[in-house]
Structure 1
């Protein structure tokens, strides 16, 4: 339930209001506020105080001091709400000084005519610790909002001094609207018709072939001042509700396809994400399909699915910048052409889930024009959408196939179809020999080893690799406190080389255990500096150890970052380019097979394998990245339902990039991590045409040997057989999704049965429970 913070200035008796919210007096801390303010509130009782402080003044006037000792949220509201109407321009500001680790926001509680809260922090602007500065916000009142309550909110422990609060209306945009503008404007070509609602800024798309219509759900994020149509283009002037910024919108029909290309431009600050365009409405029976790792398909009307808030600038968000909604045959594809500062949220809006596209600022500014497109498909569902995106990726130069990479780095052929093996402890060469004697004909040995080990494993015909990382930068003065010191930290660049946030604080990275049981965070190395560090390090390693591959941790998993250091300032676009330069070094300068974590399309031209693409990030076992060697059984519900459950998984990544890169499980979520669902992992590998991953300690090999070899014999021949091929189709053959089928460009057809009953494909073609069937056309391409 939302907190009742915004009630501070309403004439509602507090005890009855709290009861209405389902909360007791012990759950919320209310106190009287200083004169000129309404009630002060904290989620933690007795964690907050507010009083006039005459000893700390601003411009000769005393301040109000707020002291908050809790870890959760608090608020200090104005005593009265401001009655507003659609289009009102409202500004608020306050002078602020702050100490502590928390943060403070100035914004409004917006309410509808019936008093229902529309937004708890409408137009919020954030400040952190620092001396006196003016914090200001400016909003346009959207349709459906009748009142605004200005307030200061915060979270975490802090001391805040406030002075000189102001709030006023400065005009009304509705009164500036073009009176001759029609309610709706439209464009059309041979495939589709586009309509634009000049009141809400919402679009409607209709297929001229199937008559299928798709409509957006207006959310009040913009107001339209002017709009017109000229030829195949629509242009409009919009105003953002959350920051009162003027925006320019263009929408243009593609002359060759059933697509619309859109551009949004602005020239002001963008402190909070801009939620425009509006989301497309969904209805029962539809699915939202989006590339979170390999890909998921969420039934929009299924209650209780975990909402996803994902960035588009890193592997732990969307690994490709698109999503679609489908009712089975028909689909609507949204492609983000400028994803470096974009977000996607898959959230419930009423009884169904919708997909929202949002834009973040580039270092706090709107920056460059934001571009996206919509494409309609009458047939083919999410497969047609993925195949259209493959064409777009090819146009961007991302579609570099494994065959192409093999020409540049011949050792790529040792990778394709090979299981990824991590073994801890023991002698590397001896362990590799035991695997070979057991029946391993192919293997990516990821666990490194001595120079002699690497040479010996190379002679066995295996691909040898080693772990590396260029993100973590630990303060050397902390070394004596730590349980362990990582040999590949870039601590020689502390502190000048680390990422600085906008407020001057340093970006926290991986946390390391101390000898006393606490945790100390590494800094994050600025991506601009990583290539030069890597060039020196890798050259030195290869002088001694002739590896054929190298795994660079975090580079494609962690987000592109902004850096505010004056020595190496960086936008997210700069960060992406620097990360790709780091990965380019491996094949181009060192002749190595490149691997990285989780995965993102930006790295496809350079990287040949991703560890973690097969593993859905939000649905791994807890602390998977720290406790890699620990097996888990019985399988947690999140593993059974989402990670290896066939209902919610779709191979979007493989439909776009299967012939370009080898996707593996995560090293904390591998084949034998949860033994009771091992078979299902094997089946996903077989269905997707990808190689397995095994991780264990050397002394445990006798315990795992039989089961690993069974898995190897089932999965590896398929992974090798289709490893260089495009995945051309994916089908779900049963209503419960337990029987699925993939097709590949060389004619291989793979059918997998995740269920508990046999499935009859045709005469003499039965797929047994937890079984699979591989069929090959007679004219398959070699």
Structure 2
């Protein structure tokens, strides 16, 4: 298992149909309600186009694409500064019903602004290859916080000195909206009960840049129009919100629901009852004794009756006896696999990069010069999903790989990378591919695993577009900062792949540098954006190399966050780990299990900060089925001691846990 490279500065029936429905369509449904905007006409006053939206109206300046909002209570603010590019003179505006259209003849852009389901929906079409840097957001002086779905989610104070500095690793960076963030939206909160939501419907070819200007953070989206990539259309929606730190996530969830774009866990369990074994389960990658029947018995003896047990592709999988006992115990078992890389079979450093001839090198992704695109970690090449798709009917590479990996009876599968969204353009004349085609290929093959094969499927940092085909995601819970990747490359500090039975990269405790810890785990800035959108669809955990015991200084905070968000911890287990921490793991799992059983299939319906310092937080699931309050401070609040969490099931009494940490 290897950390996914993220760039700096920057079943089958229910599942696949829902996932594909989300891609490339125009937004509908808003967090504010009834779609009355479609029944209202846009108005044009000179070069200004006014579009009604839920909660007020918006005005687009055709000369610059600057956008302003006016709420029903009279409050106004800037949704976007002018486009950073020269657009050229705007042509005449034509109006039809709820939309207005105009052109910029000198640059080839045609813009349509429409009232659609309570939102301002802007579509830009280019008649040539070009780039557009817009919208430019967070520029209004009243903006207080910026919400971004980096991993689970962050809400960052835009005027905070540390977040504007290089120490935080945010200013001066960019994230791809199809791969750098877990979901293609962002939001802002203003002073008072107002805010904004931005959804990039055209996520492929789009990035979001974070800049510090005058000591304040702002964002700038950029879209690349390329005929070869079929990215000639760029669609952005704007919505007015109540300014909650999760309001933009609520808006995006409403957008997804409006497209049939969320496949619920209930539907997945109905299609494959084994998915239900995820409910109440912690996740763990196993090594040494933990991969044996004896290791499974130790977990049972600790009183743990729900687990997802995975193992690396290192030539020593769980044997059939251990798998059978695990499944009788109510556990899921699944191998790690990756279909993204190929190496020369004679020198490959991992079994998952070995493929039958001629996958290496014929199936490699090729760049514009016809050269193979170098694979993960500078080894081998990235494999073209289109090459594998074309070969599958006759060669059965994927079917054979899956059959081999599950020959021990495993009923789950972790497919690295596929749902994370690192998409490729393949210039090979034998298997040409756009990034959009790459994503469709991945969805189809993941649907084959979770649908046709009835495997309980997970992937890495699953983007929202993949929620229909995966049931769990490892990594989407982690708001990774780039400093982490540099730390992981420092083998003396982080640990390497030895010893074979318990690699230090997973087992060696590490004390995170202060800035990395603050950027990733300071609860003042953590917000459950992913859970607000997908709690009832995808079970999300942290990354596999960031097991609960890997970071002892953050162990208490991470346990509190897991309970607050109603998500499982991700562990690594071997004999010594169970010796040291087995009883504590069992206590955490026993507390978590009934809460997850009550709420895993329900949406997260509310998130609130209860104190000015944001260190006491509350979540609600369903119609109050579960309410969880976590106190990350050292002081008691309303009877809840610092470092503790209270969970209340509807009609019941508070259940308290105060994890001691490691």
Q: Secondary structure at 1:324's aligned position in 2? A: strand
Query: How far apart are residue 633 of structure 1 and its match?
Result: 3.8
Distance in 1 (alpha carbons) for counterparts of 2:81 and 2:414: 44
**Bigger share in helix:** 2
Change (3 A) 1:754 1:268: same
Q: Which runs of 5+ in 1 are unaligned?
A: 1-179, 512-519, 761-765
Question: Following the alignment from structure 2 to structure 1, what is the Cα–Cα distance between the partners of residues 45 and 533?
Answer: 43
Corresponding residue for 2:181? 318
1:591 deviates by 0.8
Distance (Å, rounded) in 1 between the aligned partners of 2:67 and 2:182? 27
Rounded to whole Å, the distance in 2 between the matches of 1:601 and 1:196 is 29
Which residue of the other structure, out of 560, 570, 574, is the alignment partner of 2:423? 560
Cα displacement (A) at 1:217: 2.1
Larger radius of gyration: 1
Q: CA deviation at 1:491?
A: 5.9
Q: Which residue of 2 aligns with 1:681?
A: 558
Matches within 5 A, 1:385-404: 385-404=248-267
Q: CA offsets per residue over residues 561-615 of structure 1, 9 Å max, x none?
A: 1111111111111011011112101121111100001111111111000001111
2:341 aligned to 450, 457, 472, which one?
A: 472
**Does the aligned pair in 2 maintain the 1:468–1:551 contact within 8 Å?**
yes
| Secondary structure in structure 2 of the residue aligned to 1:261 | strand
1:263 maps to what in 2?
Answer: 123
Report how many residues are paired: 572
Match of 2:154 in 1: 296
What CA deviation, in whole Å up to 9, does each residue of 1:129-174 have, x standing for no partner? xxxxxxxxxxxxxxxxxxxxxxxxxxxxxxxxxxxxxxxxxxxxxx
- In 2, Cα distance between equivalents of 1:220 and 1:737: 35
Residues 489 and 557 of structure 1: is their aligned pair in 2 closer, same or farther, counting only changes over 3 Å? farther
> Which of residues 646, 651, 660 is equivalent to 1:778?
651
How many angstroms apart in 2 are the aligned matches of 1:609 and 1:687? 18
Is 1:450 matched with 2:319?
yes
Distance 2:54 2:524 in 1: 37
Among 227, 239, 246, the alignment partner of 2:108 is 246
Shift in Å, 1:381: 2.3
Determine if contact 1:218/1:279 at 8 Å carries over to the other structure.
Answer: no
Contact 1:475 1:491 in 2 (8 A): no
Aligned with 2:470 (options 590, 607, 630)? 607
1:655 matched to which residue of 2? 532
The whole-number CA distance in structure 2 between the counterparts of 1:751 and 1:435 is 29
Q: Aligned partners of 1:589 and 1:733: how far apart in 2?
A: 46
**Do structure 1's residue 526 and structure 2's residue 526 form an aligned pair?**
no
Could you tell me the TM-score, scaled by structure 2's length?
A: 0.81
> For residue 168 of structure 1, what is the aligned residue in structure 2?
none
Query: Equivalent of 1:594, from 432, 450, 457?
Result: 457
Structure-2 residue corresponding to 1:224: 89
Q: Alpha carbons of 1:440 and 1:530: their partners in 2 closer, same or farther (altered >3 Å)? A: farther
Q: How does 1:8-87 map to 2 (within 5 A)?
A: none
Distance 2:264 2:51 in 1: 38
Structure 2 counterpart of 1:572, from 407, 411, 435: 435
Show CA shifts across 1:447-506 (max 9, x none): 2411222122212221111111101101335x1xx6x34245336301110111123222
User: How far is the alpha carbon of 1:365 from its aligned partner?
Assistant: 6.2
Distance 1:260 1:403 in 2: 33
Change (3 A) 1:215 1:472: closer
Matches within 5 A, 1:165-564: 182=46, 184-188=48-52, 191-221=55-85, 222-230=87-95, 231-238=97-104, 245-254=107-116, 256-257=117-118, 259-270=119-130, 273-283=131-141, 286-305=144-163, 306-307=170-171, 308-314=173-179, 317-327=180-190, 329-362=193-226, 367-377=231-241, 379=242, 381-426=244-289, 427-447=291-311, 448-476=317-345, 479=347, 484-490=349-355, 492=357, 493-511=359-377, 521-530=379-388, 532=392, 533-542=397-406, 544-564=407-427
Q: What is the distance in 2 between the residues matched to 1:359 and 1:734?
A: 39
Structure 1 residues 353, 554: closer, same or farther in 2, change over 3 A?
same
The correspondence for 1:711, drawn from 574, 578, 588, is: 588
Cα distance in 1 for partners of 2:145, 2:545 equals 29
**Superposition deviation, residue 296 in structure 1:** 0.8
Render the CA deviation track for 1:40-97: whole Å, top value 9, x for unaligned. Answer: xxxxxxxxxxxxxxxxxxxxxxxxxxxxxxxxxxxxxxxxxxxxxxxxxxxxxxxxxx
Change over 3 Å in CA distance of 1:279–1:266 after alignment to 2: same
Distance, in Å, in 1 between the alignment partners of 2:371 and 2:45 is 49
Q: Assess, with a 3 A threshold, how the Cα gap between structure 1 residues 191 and 661 changes in structure 2: closer, same or farther.
A: closer
Residue 663 of structure 1, CA deviation: 0.5
Which residue number in structure 1 is paired with residue 612 of structure 2?
735
SS in 2 for 1:560: coil
Closer, same or farther: CA 714–651 of 1 in aligned 2, 3 Å: same
1:675 shift after superposition: 1.4
Asked whether the equivalents of residues 417 and 721 of structure 1 are also in contact (C-alpha less than 8 Å), the reply is no
Structure 2 gap segments, 5+ residues each = 1-43, 164-169, 312-316, 489-493, 498-503, 654-662
Residues 680 and 266 of structure 1: is their aligned pair in 2 closer, same or farther, counting only changes over 3 Å? same
Distance 1:584 1:185, change over 3 A: closer
CA gap 1:219/1:488 in 2 versus in 1, 3 angstroms: closer
Q: Output the CA distance in 1 between the equivalents of 2:265 and 2:388.
A: 26
* Partner residue in 2 for 1:137: none
Match for residue 91 of structure 1? none
2:635 aligned residue (757, 767, 777): 757
Q: Which of 605, 625, 638 lines up with 1:747 in the alignment?
A: 625
Match of 1:166 in 2: none
Tell me the distance in 2 between the aligned counterparts of 1:360 and 1:609.
Answer: 32
String of CA shifts for 1:342-384, please: whole Å, max 9, x gaps.
Answer: 111222233311122211244656743211211112x252433
Q: What is the match of residue 30 of structure 2?
A: none
Q: Secondary structure at the match of 2:433?
A: coil
Contact kept, 8 Å, 1:504 with 1:564, in 2: the verdict is yes
Q: 1:496-548: CA deviations, max 9, x gaps?
A: 1011112322212222xxxxxxxx51200001244533222213444x32211
More strand by share: 1
SS of aligned partner of 2:88: strand
Question: How far 1:679 moved relative to its partner?
Answer: 1.1
Q: Counterpart of 1:356 in 2: which secondary structure?
A: strand
The answer to whether the Cα contact below 8 Å between 1:587 and 1:606 also exists between their aligned partners in 2 is yes
Q: Name the structure 2 match of 1:113.
A: none
SS of equivalent to 1:454: helix
Gap change, CA 1:380 and 1:749, over 3 Å in 2? farther
In structure 2, do the counterparts of structure 1 residues 391 and 183 end up closer, same or farther at CA, with 3 Å as the change threshold?
A: closer
Are the aligned partners of 1:685 and 1:692 in contact in 2 as well (CA < 8 Å)?
Answer: yes
Q: Separation in 2 of the partners of 1:287 and 1:696?
A: 39
Instruction: Tell me which residue corresponds to 1:634.
Output: 511
The 1:559/1:747 distance shift into structure 2, 3 A limit, reads: same
Alpha-carbon contact 2:413-2:455 (below 8 Å) kept: yes
Give the CA deviation at 1:723.
1.3
> Taking structure 1 as reference, are residues 189 and 612 closer, same or farther at Cα in structure 2, changes over 3 Å only?
closer
Higher relative contact order (CA 8 A, sep 6+): 2
Q: Is the 8 A contact 1:284 1:301 kept in 2?
A: no
Distance 1:295 1:748 in 2: 21
**Distance verdict in 2 for CA 1:366–1:489, change over 3 Å:** same
**8 Å Cα contact 1:551/1:594 also seen in 2:** yes
CA distance in 2: counterparts of 1:541 and 1:485, whole angstroms: 14
